[in-house]
Amino acid sequence: MPLSFLAGVYGMNFDREAGNMPELGWRHGYLFFWVLTAIVVMGLFLWMRRKRWL
């Protein structure tokens, strides 16, 4: 569910000039998104391993 939320938010069309999503104008905004996604995936993986679901 967290990854679906991230993909849903970043999959929308936003107007950078309106300032509603400033990270779209960041130099490393795309990298920021993928690093955040990797952190969420690793967090979920470790949490599931600790719960012994995997």
Contact 41, 1 (CB under 8 A): no
Give the C-alpha separation, 51 to 12, whole Å.
34
CA distance to 19, 39, 44, 48, 49, per residue, from 29 (Å): 14, 15, 23, 29, 30
Helix ranges (DSSP H) in 1-54: 2-10, 29-50
User: Could you read off the pLDDT of 14-40 as tens digits, one per residue?
Assistant: 666 766 666 777 888 878 878 888 999
Give the C-alpha separation, 53 to 5, whole Å.
22
Average pLDDT, rounded, for the chain: 81
> Which residue type is seen at 43?
G
Whether the full predicted model's pTM is greater than 0.75, yes or no, is no
- How much is the pLDDT for 52? 93
Say which residue, 41 or 7, is predicted with more confidence: 41
